[in-house]
Structure 1
Amino acid sequence: MNGRNHDRELALLDEAWLIQRAAAGDRCAFESLYRLYFPRIARFLHRMTRNAQLIEEVANDAMLAVWQKARTFDGSCKLSTWIFAIAYRKACKALHALDEPLEACPDDCECGPGCQPERLFEQLRLGDAVNAALDTLPLAQRAVFQLTFFHDMGYAEIAEVMACPVNTVKTRLFHARRRLAQLLADQLEERT
């Protein structure tokens, strides 16, 4: 067993212990889960909603549901899958309840402090193009794309999160990739 797999297995055991303790009412264990998952959920929701207020509200609602439903977690899937499914459903409900357009939030640039201005500009421009292209995707395709590429989930996990068949996940991802390739073709040509 390589070191990465061993570390991942230890993390999963820690998470299993934390959810068991939270189910027994241990607030410290839940606080640890909250600190572990809130940033991950917030990143997912940011790409899904682009609304800062909604992100915090939905992430907190999702984590509250985790606290309240910790006893119902049966281990039939990974804890992360269960938590992301809760967050996804909460986000879908919140988005359907909105009667105003979603605001676009600029992403933080991943360019370091010593970065050349031209490179920084190019990164920001490409990031804006990717975000704009993602925003054009239907919610279900956008969520599948994000869970695949930004949260490293497999088809089966995504199917559980989104409560749909694996083939639906594959189809949504296929259409998302095809649409993004069309929308970003000009950006990609300029970079080569």
Structure 2
Amino acid sequence: MQAEPQGGLLLERAMRLSDVDAALVARCKGNDLTAFDEIVERYQHKIYGYVKRLVGNETDAEDITQEVFLKALNSLHRFREESSLQTWLFRIATNLCRDAHRRRQREKGWLSLWRQADEQNETEEGGIVDPPDDRFNPEKLLLHEELSAMLSQAIEQLPLAMREVLILHDVEQMPYEEIAQALGVPLGTVKSRLFHARARLRESLANYVYGV
């Protein structure tokens, strides 16, 4: 008996998942709150993993993940099912992460100004500036831990738009079309951002491995 092509299996699995999600959404719209608990159970781990990789902080990731599902619960009656439930949840998560990123950038601007003022005052008063934090000294880490840390750092340094696409495609293994729906951008933009994100990662890791 000839094996079914892998693409057919993936399509069949996606259709089964879509049917389950559609049933859960219908139950939620019928005020069955246990159905929403099932949605949370199905997608909480994926959403948390995606958010954590974007924000790089467990506490913030937990808060944002909770906010994602709270927003989904309050908005589910407006969900028109033009996209999959997973795509819709990832779109909510993406928007909340973007909001958090903008807040963080504003806070960094203020903190930078305060830090400069503090350092100037310490210098003028003859104070001693704290030495650099050496907790991340590579000599204190095993090689694989160091490389893993470098990869995480390289991903965190990517522009947010590139980071979103890279994580959704390479980590969450989401198809291009679904990523485009989740991020609200054209398909060509998704492919372009992924190409440039991978190129930057290769460059960053090459500099580390070969000391370029």
TM-score category, normalised to shorter length: 0.7 to 0.9
Residue 40 of structure 2: aligned partner: 34
Give, as a single letter, the amino acid of the residue that structure 1 aligns with 2:82. S
Tell me the matched-pair count. 172
| CA displacement, residues 81-133 of structure 1 (integer Å, 9 cap, x when unaligned) | 111001100111122123159xxxxxxxxxxxxxxxxxx94432221111011
Cα RMSD after superposing both structures: 2.2
* 1:34-113 correspondence runs (5 A): 34-98=40-104, 99-100=107-108
Matched residue, 1:164: 185
Q: Does 1:14 align with 2:4?
A: no
Unaligned runs of 5+ in 2: 110-140
Separation (CA, whole Å) in 2 of partners of 1:188 and 1:41? 32
Percent of aligned pairs with the same amino acid: 28
Change (3 A) 1:20 1:131: same
User: Normalising by the residue count of structure 1, what TM-score does the alignment of the two structures yield?
Assistant: 0.81
Length-normalised TM-score, structure 2: 0.74
Rg (Cα) greater in structure = 2
- State how far apart, in whole Å, the 2-side matches of 1:79 and 1:45 are: 17
Asked if the contact 1:145/1:173 (under 8 Å) is kept, the reply is yes
- Measure how far apart 1:7 and its partner are: 4.0
Determine if contact 1:20/1:70 at 8 Å carries over to the other structure: no
Per-residue deviation, 1:188:
5.8
Aligned to 2:158: 137
- Where 1:14 maps in the other structure, the secondary structure is helix
Q: Structure 1: how far apart are the matches of 2:24 and 2:142?
A: 43
Corresponding letter in the other structure for 2:157:
T
Q: What is the alpha-carbon distance in structure 2 between the residues aligned to residue 30 and residue 123 of structure 1?
A: 40
Instruction: Name structure 1 gaps, 5 residues minimum.
Output: 102-119
